RNA sequence: GCCUCAGUAGCUCAGCUGGAUAGAGCACCGGACUUCUAAUCCGAUGGUCGCAGGUUCGAAUCCUGCCUGGGGCGCCA
C-alpha cells in the first residue's frame, strides 16, 4: 500500500467516524497525508487528522481518534492502529501490504516518481542567462545545476517545461568586452571597465586566427565584437552541454528590438493605463502594484531602458503560450522583483503567473578566507575549471543539494581535491553496490521471478527501506511545487542510507549453493526497486548512476 | 533608513505549508571485513534551534520586536 492510498483510507475512515458521531463533515479537509514517524514505536505511518479536525467539529480528539481507529482497523493491509498522545493515529501495515511497493516500482521503472502535481502547466523556466562576456562563473553554475534539476523535477510532475537562456550580445558590457579583446590584440593594457584574465587572451588569439587581418579592418573593434562574442558564446554553450544542462531556447534580446516588441509592449501597457511621461522620459507606474518607485522605460534621450526590454520579453513569453513564467536570479538581483511583479500585474496577469526565484550567492573560500572573484580582473573560476577539477557529477550534486535560500561557502581546496566528503559518492556507491548484487544474481542464475511473496519482508531494515521507497513520488511532487530540487538530493541520501543498512543486515542472495528461497526472491525485488529509485533520483539531479565504482 | 536571505551539534547543512524524545554528513572516540563492493555498518560524544515576547492542545516551524552576518535599493546593463 502506498502512503497516498493509506491517506485516502484514513480520510474515508474519518468521514465514517464523523457520521457515526454525528459531527459536521464540513470541517473535514479535501485531502490529508500520512507521515513517517521518526520513532518506530509510533508505527509505520501516523496521522494527525483527529487533532486537526476535532476542535473544529467540537469534540474531543481522542474520542474521535478512537472511532477513526475502529473504522481503519478493518481496512485491508492495516495490521494495527494505535492511538497515542493527544490523538495521533499510529498505523502499522502488514508486511504484505508494505512490500507491494517493490513490485510497483520495478514495473514502473524510470517512470516511478512521476506524478501529476503540476499537470496542465506550461512553464517557461529561465536561468543562467549570462551575457557572453566571459566564462560561466561559479554563481551562474549554481543555477545551471539547480535550474536544470528543477526543470527535470517539474517535468516529472507533469508540467511542460521550456528551459530558456536570455542573453544580450549588443549592450555596453559587450562593448567593454570587445574593446578588451582589441586592446589585448594590440598588446595594450585592459581598458577601463574592460575585462582581464587569461580567457581574454585566448579569445583574442582565436579571433586573430579566424581573421588574421582584423587589426587592419575599417572597424577592428567590430570584428573582435562579432567574432569574440561568437567564440565566447560557443564556449559557454559547450560548457553547459558538458555540464549536462540543456536549454530548449537561447533567446537574444536583440530579437525583441528587431521585431519592435518593445514598442508593442509599451503600447499594451499604455492601453492598460499604466504609462506616463515625466521629465521627457516614459515611465511605467509600477507603484500601482506595490513597487516602491515607478520605473522608466524610455530615457529622456530616447533610449530604451533594460527594464523596457524585460517588459517586452515578458510579453513575448506570455504570447508563446506559457501560463507560468519562472525566472531564477541571484540575490544581487533581488531588487528587480518588485518592478517585475508589478509589470506582470500591469499587463493584467494574475499574481503567481510570474515567479521569481532568488537564490543566494556562492562564496568561494581559500584557506578559509573569502576569495573575491571578478570577471573584469580575470580572477574567475569558470564552469570548465570546476568540471575538470571535480567532475560533473560531484559539482552538480554539491550545488544542487542545498536550499537556494542558503548561501553556500565553498572551499576551493576542498573542491579541487576529489574528496569523498561529497555525499554524492555515498548515493552513487549505494547504486553501484546494488548493481553488483544484481550482477551476482544474474551470474548465479538466481532469478527474482514473475512475482514474489511480500509477506516474508518482515525485517525492520526491509520495512524501513520499503517506506523510504514509497516516499519518492511525494518527494518529487513537493520538490516541484516548492521549486526546491535539493529535496531530491536529501531524499537520495536518506534512501542510500536505508539501503546500506538493509544490505548490512539482510542477506539478499543465497549463501553458497543453497537454493533460493522466497525471502531471497522477495529481497531481490526490493533491491531492484531500490536501484530504480536511486537511478531516478540521480537522473532528476542530472547525476549519473554508475554500475561500478 | 527600506526590502530580502540566513542564524539549528566543533564544521557544512537538512528539517520550517505547526506535531510526539530536533536530524544527516564531516570531524573526534570505540567497535565490525573467511560472508552479495568496508566509498559500508554499529555504538558513544556533541544542542538555551540567535534573543525576547505572542498565537494554541502543541512552535525550530506561524506573528511582532530586537541582535548578528550576506545581498539589494540608478533615466546602469
The number of helices, as runs of H, and strands, as runs of E, in chain A is 19, 14
pLDDT at residue A454, rounded to an integer: 94
Whichever domain contains A502, its CATH number is: 1.10.730.10
Where does a domain end: A93, A115, A137? A93
Whichever domain contains A86, its CATH number is: 3.30.1360.70
Cα separation, A291 vs A271, in Å, equals 20
**A549 Cβ contacts chain B strand, under 7 Å:** yes
Cα separation, A202 vs A271, in Å, equals 50
- Asked if residue A36 belongs to a domain, the reply is yes
Which nucleotide in the DNA or RNA is closest to residue A512, CA to C1'? Answer: B35
Which helix H or strand E contains A217, and what residues bound it?
none
- Asked if residue A301 belongs to a domain, the reply is no
- Asked if residue A48 belongs to a domain, the reply is yes
- Tens-digit pLDDT profile for residues A196-224: 878 899 999 999 999 999 899 999 999 99
- Per the structure, the residue whose CA is closest to nucleotide B72 at C1' is A335
**A436 Cβ contacts chain B strand, under 7 Å:** yes
pLDDT at residue A408, rounded to an integer: 83
A215 contact partners, CB below 8 Å, separation of at least 6: A185, A186
- Asked if residue A200 belongs to a domain, the reply is no
Residue A189 has pLDDT above 60, yes or no: yes
pLDDT at residue A140, rounded to an integer: 86
Where does a domain end: A49, A70, A93? A93
Residue A311 has pLDDT above 60, yes or no: yes
- Asked if residue A366 belongs to a domain, the reply is no
Which nucleotide in the DNA or RNA is closest to residue A294, CA to C1'? Answer: B75
pLDDT at residue A473, rounded to an integer: 95
- Tens-digit pLDDT profile for residues A139-150: 788 999 999 999
C-alpha cell, A315: 510579453
Q: How far is CA A17 from the centre of its chain?
A: 40
- Asked if residue A59 belongs to a domain, the reply is yes
**A47: containing domain:** 3-93
CA-to-C1' span, A400 to B8 (A): 21
Which nucleotide in the DNA or RNA is closest to residue A446, CA to C1'? Answer: B36
For residue A473, the number of C-alpha atoms closer than 13 Å in the C-beta half-sphere is 20
Task: Name which of A109, A117, A125 is nearest A162 in CA terms.
Answer: A125
- Asked if residue A505 belongs to a domain, the reply is yes
What is the percentage of chain A residues whose pLDDT exceeds 90? 71
ipTM given for this complex: 0.94
Where does a domain end: A93, A113, A133? A93
Report the domain count for chain A: 2
What is the rounded average pLDDT of the residues A48-74? Answer: 89
C-alpha cell, A134: 566571459
Residue A104 has pLDDT above 70, yes or no: yes
Cα separation, A173 vs A167, in Å, equals 12
Amino acid at each position: 500500500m502506498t502512503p497516498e492510498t493509506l491517506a485516502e483510507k484514513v480520510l474515508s475512515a474519518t468521514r465514517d467516524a464523523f457520521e457515526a458521531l454525528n459531527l459536521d463533515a464540513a470541517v473535514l479537509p479535501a485531502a490529508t497525508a500520512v507521515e513517517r514517524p521518526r520513532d518506530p514505536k509510533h508505527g509505520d505511518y501516523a496521522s494527525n487528522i483527529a487533532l486537526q479536525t476535532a476542535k473544529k467539529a467540537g469534540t474531543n480528539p481522542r474520542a474521535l481518534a478512537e472511532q477513526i481507529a475502529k473504522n481503519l482497523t478493518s481496512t485491508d493491509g492495516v495490521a494495527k492502529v494505535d492511538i497515542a498522545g493527544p490523538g495521533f493515529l499510529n498505523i502499522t501495515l502488514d508486511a504484505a501490504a508494505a512490500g507491494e511497493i517493490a513490485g510497483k516500482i520495478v514495473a514502473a521503472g524510470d517512470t516511478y516518481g512521476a506524478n501529476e502535481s503540476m499537470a496542465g502547466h506550461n512553464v517557461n523556466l529561465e536561468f543562467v542567462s549570462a551575457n557572453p562576456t566571459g566564462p560561466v562563473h561559479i554563481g551562474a553554475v549554481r543555477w545551471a545545476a539547480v535550474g536544470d534539476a528543477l526543470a527535470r523535477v517539474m517535468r516529472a510532475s507533469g508540467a511542460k517545461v521550456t528551459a530558456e537562456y536570455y542573453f544580450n550580445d549588443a549592450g555596453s558590457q559587450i562593448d567593454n568586452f570587445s574593446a578588451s579583446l582589441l586592446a589585448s590584440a594590440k598588446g595594450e593594457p585592459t581598458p577601463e571597465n574592460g575585462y582581464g584574465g587569461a580567457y581574454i587572451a585566448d579569445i583574442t588569439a582565436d579571433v586573430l586566427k579566424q581573421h588574421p587581418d582584423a587589426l587592419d579592418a575599417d572597424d577592428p573593434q567590430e570584428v573582435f565584437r562579432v567574432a569574440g562574442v561568437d567564440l565566447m558564446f560557443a564556449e559557454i554553450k559547450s560548457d553547459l552541454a558538458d555540464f549536462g544542462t540543456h536549454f530548449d531556447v537561447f533567446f537574444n534580446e536583440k530579437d525583441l528590438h528587431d521585431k519592435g516588441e518593445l514598442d508593442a509592449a509599451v503600447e499594451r501597457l499604455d492601453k492598460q493605463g499604466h504609462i506616463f511621461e515625466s521629465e521627457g522620459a516614459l515611465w511605467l507606474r509600477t507603484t500601482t502594484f506595490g513597487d516602491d518607485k515607478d520605473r522608466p522605460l524610455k530615457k529622456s534621450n530616447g533610449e530604451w531602458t533594460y527594464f523596457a526590454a524585460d517588459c517586452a520579453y515578458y510579453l513575448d513569453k506570455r504570447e508563446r503560450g506559457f501560463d507560468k513564467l519562472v525566472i531564477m536570479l541571484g540575490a544581487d538581483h533581488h531588487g528587480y522583483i518588485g518592478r517585475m511583479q508589478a509589470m506582470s500585474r500591469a499587463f493584467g496577469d494574475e499574481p503567481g503567473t510570474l515567479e521569481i526565484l532568488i537564490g543566494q550567492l556562492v562564496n568561494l573560500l581559500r584557506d578559509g578566507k573569502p576569495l573575491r572573484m571578478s570577471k573584469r580582473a580575470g580572477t574567475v573560476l569558470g564552469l570548465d575549471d570546476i568540471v575538470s577539477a571535480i567532475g560533473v557529477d560531484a559539482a552538480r550534486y554539491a550545488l544542487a543539494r542545498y536550499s537556494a535560500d542558503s548561501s553556500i561557502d565553498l572551499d576551493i581546496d576542498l573542491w579541487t581535491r576529489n574528496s569523498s566528503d561529497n555525499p554524492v559518492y555515498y548515493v552513487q556507491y549505494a547504486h553501484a553496490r546494488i548493481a553488483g548484487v544484481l550482477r551476482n544474481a544474474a551470474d548465479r542464475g538466481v532469478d527474482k521471478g514473475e512475482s514474489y511473496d511480500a509477506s516474508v519482508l518482515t525485517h525492520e531494515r526491509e520495512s524501513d527501506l520499503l517506506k523510504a521507497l514509497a516516499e519518492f513520488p511525494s518527494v518529487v511532487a513537493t520538490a516541484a511545487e516548492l521549486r526546491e530540487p535539493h529535496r531530491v538530493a536529501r531524499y537520495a541520501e536518506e534512501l542510500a542510507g536505508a539501503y546500506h543498512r538493509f544490505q548490512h543486515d539482510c542477506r539478499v542472495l543465497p549463501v553458497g549453493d543453497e537454493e533460493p528461497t522466497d525471502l531471497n526472491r522477495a529481497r531481490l525485488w526490493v533491491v531492484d526497486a531500490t536501484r530504480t529509485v536511486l537511478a531516478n533520483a540521480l537522473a532528476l539531479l542530472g547525476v549519473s548512476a554508475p554500475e561500478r565504482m
